[in-house]
Structure 1
């Protein structure tokens, strides 16, 4: 159903269907985002709000060079959004508090038994484990709002999960992190078996590969407790791209080595041993808050391109583009400065959510 059918009722799925989350490399209908709201921006330094607005707008405007972009904008920020966003970016008025769309928005799925049907998984969202600082009541409604707008069938889930906590190959393999889905602040009664059963029901994952943890900075106050989308991603069936911290002074030096070794010994849903490609971190290892989690893994694949995080390190940024273009043949990698986004707790992948083409 084309965008703009806001009056179309959401169809709620009552019985399990053959849902499957496509790979991010599958053709996109569009990318969804949410524009920041000033009173919920983490950067309280002078100019922090404007820098945050500009960072989100730069990502949206760059994506719009490759595919349609729709961005949810709170009524309080319509003027700022119109000022900063390219006219090609569709502004959709909607209440917003949190604006990390990957996590509180829908995870789109398709049904291979019903061509042309789009599903939208509505994970339970509690602000990454209900920390005191998080405000998520408005944004927890975004999955249903977007599903209504695009005429997707709503796939409800009682699992507390975020889109940044999963990566798939589109053929049954999912990457998970033990400190996310098994986080007692999220799912106090969950175990791996229950999580894997829910992944099979909602996104069609038949093989889960569990990472023991995420990057060090991601366990700070504003972190997600180990989202996988800053650590590793399945670029194609049997191929995995992994963050590699090469500086032994950084605690992620050992973390990334452990994860590389684990993935190199893992098999996917088809029984293939994963081929691991390491994606080196930029040279900077600290900011004013401590060790950074700057990662080129946190990119977004779009139609014909890759939106890559940039960190002001020209040599490392360029090397990352080369690796990304090799991992995604036929796509052009474009760098967008992501330091302001990372200062808030995530990267480009964290603030975007792809809607696949169905048909």
Structure 2
């Protein structure tokens, strides 16, 4: 591990300006195989929405196939924003595979690049799934010159992008359930991990550990991007549950209470905006972790997962619009994505 503390670098908020979004394209040897056509259509919709606002970096096993699919869907100007790179993968969860960007607020001098990309170990959410090909993607992209910054090796530490949320200032949010889950970073204690996060992200003065809000069917052990998201003006968007018969009710009641007790570093309560809990969606007898909180913020827009539940989808879209009044809110039907226990934010990673 490189332990230099880069005092001029910070972990930005997701709503800050981005250079691009990264996708890992699905192929026949991923778990998407039974519904590859359906998930490919979702990817094309995401690519269309993203390239209307910013650049898109795609790794794919078959770049020519992907190029032809995109050319049929995207306008010429949008295609110019797409970069394709041939690369194999175990799966497609870019949020937890792609590097995490640190930015500098200082002007570049000489050959100095005001960007660090932190390359962590992804081990299939605690050794649940194979990840050896996924772990090689970032180095291959860097060596091909496709990252505008320095790639910093942190493969000795397991940290998934979906497990942390930054306000871009001094506070980092995470969940105890995920970062303390088995087969991640044992024998490190909570205090050890907290110290490591402060070292990795120099602007962070405190780490907020949330103790509740585990979605049924969640392979990640409780990624924060499925339950609570930080948005501008000290606003937290979070999932609430009103149905006392729902298995989530008590856990998400406790999450809401914890959020109400939180204060900013300026000792002010957070503005809380509540998202509805989607009606239960099952694959055979297994409940899937459907959530509207797993949205992607891009330049000028927000891509929001929907589940063909008109009333709850509309409530979620309206609430997210309230948090982002100046951005276009784009609904993406995520019923296919959720079959593999994730959603839009999980499949994507913004690069600063």
TM-score under structure 1 length normalisation: 0.87
Q: CA RMSD in A?
A: 2.2
* Structure 2: gaps spanning 5 or more residues: none
- Does 1:52 find its partner at 2:50? no
In structure 2, the partner of 1:5 is none
Q: Contact between 1:173 and 1:209, CA under 8 Å: does it hold in 2?
A: yes
- What is the distance in 1 between the residues matched to 2:92 and 2:132? 12
In structure 2, the partner of 1:64 is 51
* Structure 1: gaps spanning 5 or more residues: 1-11
In structure 2, the partner of 1:126 is 123
- What is the distance in 1 between the residues matched to 2:158 and 2:212? 17
Q: Contact between 1:218 and 1:224, CA under 8 Å: does it hold in 2?
A: no
- Report matched runs for 1:36-47 at 5 Å: 36-42=26-32, 44=34
Q: 1:74 to 1:269 in 2, by over 3 A?
A: farther
Q: Contact between 1:155 and 1:202, CA under 8 Å: does it hold in 2?
A: no
What displacement does 1:59 show? Answer: 1.6
Partner of 1:140: helix, strand, or coil?
helix
Q: Contact between 1:37 and 1:97, CA under 8 Å: does it hold in 2?
A: no
- Does 1:32 find its partner at 2:22? yes
Q: 1:31 to 1:94 in 2, by over 3 A?
A: same
- What is the distance in 2 between the residues matched to 1:174 and 1:34? 26
Partner of 1:354: helix, strand, or coil?
strand
- The farther-off stretch of 19-28 and 55-64 is 55-64
Partner of 2:125: helix, strand, or coil?
coil
- What is the distance in 2 between the residues matched to 1:17 and 1:270? 24
Residue from 131, 135, 147 that aligns with 1:150: 147
Partner of 1:324: helix, strand, or coil?
helix
In structure 2, the partner of 1:342 is 338
- Does 1:209 find its partner at 2:194? no
Q: Report the count of equivalent residues.
A: 336
What displacement does 1:63 show? Answer: 1.5
In structure 2, the partner of 1:320 is 316
In structure 1, the partner of 2:65 is 79
Q: Contact between 1:128 and 1:224, CA under 8 Å: does it hold in 2?
A: yes
Partner of 1:61: helix, strand, or coil?
helix
In structure 2, the partner of 1:92 is 85
- The farther-off stretch of 165-174 and 277-286 is 277-286
In structure 1, the partner of 2:133 is 138
TM-score under structure 2 length normalisation: 0.88
Partner of 1:185: helix, strand, or coil?
coil
What displacement does 1:175 show? Answer: 1.3
What displacement does 1:284 show? Answer: 4.2
